[in-house]
Amino acid sequence: MQAAFEHFEAVGRQGDPQVIERARALDLHIAVDLKGYTHQSRPRLFAERMAPIQMHYIGYPGTLGMPGAIDYQVADRIVVPPEARDGYSEKIIELPVSYQANDRTRMMDPQVPARAALGLPDGAFVFCCFNNNYKITREVFALWMDLLRERPGSVLWLLAEQGDAQRNLRAAAAAQGVDPARLVFAERAPLPQHLARHAQADLFLDTWPCNAHTTASDALWAGLPLITHAGSTFASRVAASLLHACELPQLVADSPQAYRALALSLSAAPERLQAIRRQLMDTRQTLPLFDAERFARHLERAFDLAWERHVRGQPPDHLVVAPLPQ
């Protein structure tokens, strides 16, 4: 990262007053918050204004509710539709394609482990979700158990978490009449091996109201079909954004009932799933979602538009970045 910039300073060990003083001394034009309300965030830096333009991007999927401190939120038309803008204290910068940065360099191990090595039964239909377990709500889990009851020859492949999660999920399955052995847990693995094992799943089931984010782009890069239910919040519309950027809007459901119907339809149509997998693998080198250079040009244009308004003496306003040619 340092090589990409003319000037780079690491200030993580400095206190807020020192960082603010240094930022002002450098005469920053734009300061970008990448953390929001997450671990090790530093909202005071922005509350006291380090730069004339301050914006929020990627780290927290929603408004920060800091009027006067955060001027803009970087988003796209799917995660923040125009009719939802009033729910944000920030003005929205609408990027084309998707707000999420991705690239074409994620390495995937060419060796795909056998199902038996992963604890998956041969011949079973494998529903999977590699989201963190805390995203699995009672409503979502109940719907998943309904899918397992409707598809007796299926299993649900989940990410293994520490603590009580596995035991609690298996107990919840049993309480809903599903054999707990049909829940299979995947231990965390290095990214190349994790991406490779996606090949042994048949369909990724997303969660809501907090979707798969990076986990969804991982699945799509690995060629795994994914379905999602798009809700009304930023966090519940991320997977929809990614699917649209992969030219797969048909995998976005607008209700839990439509999500259930889509899962049942696809799990009964292996040829449709195989066609989607082929489409993803054949086009991932050209899909807009994974075009990092074009994304960078769009984000640069967003910065330019925000700064140009400031130079003209205009207050922040909603901005739409026009798409560049592919």
Q: Are 122 and 269 contained in the same domain? A: yes
Q: Please indicate, yes or no, if residue 110 is contained in any of the structural domains.
A: no
Beta partners for residue 55, in sequence order: 32, 72
pLDDT value of residue 326: 79
What digits encode the pLDDT tens for the residues 261-276? 999 999 999 999 999 9
Distances (CA, A) of 39 to 8, 159, 217: 23, 22, 22
**Sign of the C-alpha dihedral, residues 103, 105, 110, 114?**
negative
Q: Are 176 and 301 contained in the same domain? A: no
Nearest-angstrom CA–CA distance, 307 and 151:
55
Q: Are 201 and 149 contained in the same domain? A: yes
Q: Are 63 and 178 contained in the same domain? A: no
What digits encode the pLDDT tens for the residues 231-253? 999 999 999 999 999 999 999 99
Q: Please indicate, yes or no, if residue 326 is contained in any of the structural domains.
A: no
Q: Are 130 and 152 contained in the same domain? A: yes
- Domain count for the chain, please give it: 2
Q: Please indicate, yes or no, if residue 90 is contained in any of the structural domains.
A: yes
Nearest-angstrom CA–CA distance, 244 and 247:
5
Q: Are 41 and 158 contained in the same domain? A: no
Q: Please indicate, yes or no, if residue 72 is contained in any of the structural domains.
A: yes
Nearest-angstrom CA–CA distance, 202 and 247:
19
What digits encode the pLDDT tens for the residues 42-61? 999 999 999 999 999 999 99
Task: Indicate the pLDDT class of residue 163, thresholds 50, 70 and 90.
Answer: confident
Q: Are 127 and 88 contained in the same domain? A: no
What digits encode the pLDDT tens for the residues 125-137? 999 999 999 999 9
Q: Are 186 and 51 contained in the same domain? A: no
Q: Are 13 and 121 contained in the same domain? A: no
What digits encode the pLDDT tens for the residues 270-298? 999 999 999 999 999 999 999 999 999 99
End-to-end CA distance of the chain: 25
Count the alpha carbons within 13 Å of 52 in the hemisphere toward its beta carbon.
15
Q: What is the CATH number of the domain that holds 76?
A: 3.40.50.11380
Q: Please indicate, yes or no, if residue 302 is contained in any of the structural domains.
A: yes
What digits encode the pLDDT tens for the residues 73-102? 999 999 999 999 999 999 999 999 999 999
Q: Are 146 and 71 contained in the same domain? A: no
Q: Are 210 and 272 contained in the same domain? A: yes
Nearest-angstrom CA–CA distance, 274 and 86:
41
pLDDT for residue 1 is more than 90:
no
- Residue 84, token pair as written in the block: 């939802």
pLDDT value of residue 162: 82
Q: Please indicate, yes or no, if residue 106 is contained in any of the structural domains.
A: no
Domain range for 181 is 115-288
Q: What is the CATH number of the domain that holds 158?
A: 3.40.50.2000
Q: Which residues contact 108 (CB under 8 A, 6 or more apart)?
A: 192, 195, 196, 221, 222
Q: Are 164 and 124 contained in the same domain? A: yes
